[in-house]
Amino acid sequence: MEPNRNKHFLARIPTIALLVLFAMSPWLGVAFFILRAIDRDALKKEEGSTDLSHDARPEDTRAAKASTQTWDNETVYGNDTPTAEQKNAKKWHKTLTTLCTIFGGIFLLVGIGNLVDVADLWAYYQDFGELFTGLAQVVGGGAALFTGLRMDRARKLEHKLDKIVGNRDNIPLDELFAAAGIDAAKGRAAVEQAIDHGYFGADAYIDYRTNVLVVRGAAPQPPEAAAPEPAPQQDPQDQYASLQQQLRQANDAIPDPVMTAKISRLEELSARIFALAKKDPDKKAQLQKFMDYYLPTALKLLNTYAQLSAQDIQGENITDAKQSIERSMDLLITAFENQLDKLFQSDALDVSADVAALEGMLNLDGLTGPDFHPGV
């Protein structure tokens, strides 16, 4: 059973009203602050004894009330009935808007009037108490009036969003914001407030996966991400030619004759390796590490050597780095020679197998050895 809120009217007095009362009569304002606190405590106790899991909406009206409904003298466009808590939140938002606007305007005008009176009498009597009172009334009244007008604009925006949603079960937030003519940050805050005030019904929420306002039912499933297209494979012929060209460019950039000879040897070995790979594509699998690491590393070292050689001052660090690269060239030449020889490994195995088979057949047919007698 819902608590009787009509008898707890003191608990529903907004703070702005008590502040206005306090400004007019401090003792009376303090008394009402205390009475409101007592009444709110009693209301909470009654609400605690109520079965909060009970839904005041009949089951058959949750999805059936798609037609236009009215509550609190305002039209709700095609949405389910809000909960009692949402109704109260919306009602007090409206009440607080009205109170801030009215009392803010009154205090602003009264404060301006007091300041005018103080200014007229300032040459004869300097009343600082009245001056500060007038300033407080102008500042407080102006702030309350500004707050009230801003809350009124927010209420109108929430009502506009409700009209745009209409009978739809869900709507993308980008579409909703575009229709309302507002940006995403302001729109999201307004939608969240509208949900709290029950404009879209008791079950509305924002699905952050799909950025959709869900009024009723399940949220739409996010689209599956499209599989990325595979990167185009470079033609092996082009890749071989490109690597050969880079070796040639590095060789041209290095004037040292000893290094030039070593690089030329690398070029020769690389060309022979690439020629075998072109002739027999099955050998390409054996060149994976050669193509992905050894050859790119050799090019990187050669480019670094060319940059160091181009420096005007050949200091100790530059000299040491160049000597290290020169020593590595000998290792790379040996590695390239071994890689070339390794490509013939399967050919050597095939030759050994063919020779062994040939010898076996010749022995089987008695065509070899000392027992062979021609013409017998």
- Give 219-271 pLDDT, tens digit per residue: 777 777 666 766 555 555 566 678 778 878 888 888 888 888 888 888 888 88
Phi, psi of 74 (to 5 degrees): -130, 150
State pLDDT tens for residues 46-89.
Answer: 776 654 444 433 343 444 344 444 444 555 444 567 778 777 77
| pLDDT for the residue numbered 62 | 41
Percent of the chain with pLDDT over 70: 74
Query: Is there a domain that residue 314 lies in?
Result: yes
DSSP per-residue string spanning 305-317:
HHHHHT-SS--HH
Q: Give the other-Cβ count within 10 Å of 323's Cβ.
A: 10
State pLDDT tens for residues 292-342.
Answer: 788 888 888 888 888 888 887 888 888 888 888 888 888 888 888 888 787
Distance from the Cα of residue 334 to its chain's centroid? 51
| pLDDT for the residue numbered 1 | 45
State pLDDT tens for residues 121-161.
Answer: 777 777 777 788 878 878 887 888 888 888 888 888 888 88
CATH of the domain at 336: 1.20.5
CB proximity list for 71: less than 8 A, separation 6 or greater: 81, 82, 87
- Split into its structural domains, the chain has a count of 1
How far is residue 34's CA from residue 24's CA, in Å, rounded to a whole number? 17
Query: Which stretches of 49-122 are DSSP H helices?
Result: 84-121
**Residue 16 pLDDT more than 70?**
no
DSSP 209: T
Tell me which residue range forms the domain holding 310.
236-361
How far is residue 301's CA from residue 321's CA, in Å, rounded to a whole number? 10
pTM value? 0.41
Q: Give the other-Cβ count within 10 Å of 254's Cβ.
A: 21
Query: Is there a domain that residue 321 lies in?
Result: yes
Query: Is there a domain that residue 40 lies in?
Result: no
Query: Is there a domain that residue 303 lies in?
Result: yes
CB proximity list for 29: less than 8 A, separation 6 or greater: 18, 19, 21, 22, 23
Beta partners for residue 170, in sequence order = 214
| pLDDT for the residue numbered 230 | 65
State pLDDT tens for residues 18-36.
Answer: 666 666 655 666 777 788 8
Query: Is there a domain that residue 195 lies in?
Result: no
Residues 257-267, buried b or exposed e (16+ Cβ, 10 A)?
eebeebbebbb
| pLDDT for the residue numbered 162 | 85
Both ends of the chain: CA-CA distance in Å?
Answer: 123
HSE on the CB side for 102, CA within 13 Å? 9
**Inter-axis angle of helices 295-309 and 236-253, nearest 10:** 20
| pLDDT for the residue numbered 77 | 46
Which of 245, 234, 238 lies closest to 299 in space, CA to CA?
245
Q: What average pLDDT is seen over the chain?
A: 75
Apex CA 48: angle with CA 43 and CA 52, to 5°?
115
State pLDDT tens for residues 157-197.
Answer: 888 888 888 888 888 888 888 888 888 888 888 888 888 88
Apex CA 23: angle with CA 17 and CA 29, to 5°?
60
Query: Is there a domain that residue 243 lies in?
Result: yes
DSSP 78: S
| pLDDT for the residue numbered 137 | 76
Say if residues 165 and 204 touch (Cβ distance below 8 Å). Answer: no
Structure-token pair, residue 203: 């079950």
How far is residue 248's CA from residue 123's CA, in Å, rounded to a whole number? 97
Structure-token pair, residue 287: 């060149």
| pLDDT for the residue numbered 23 | 60
Query: Is there a domain that residue 146 lies in?
Result: no
Query: Is there a domain that residue 320 lies in?
Result: yes
Which of 165, 157, 158, 1 lies closest to 84 in space, CA to CA?
1
HSE on the CB side for 65, CA within 13 Å? 19
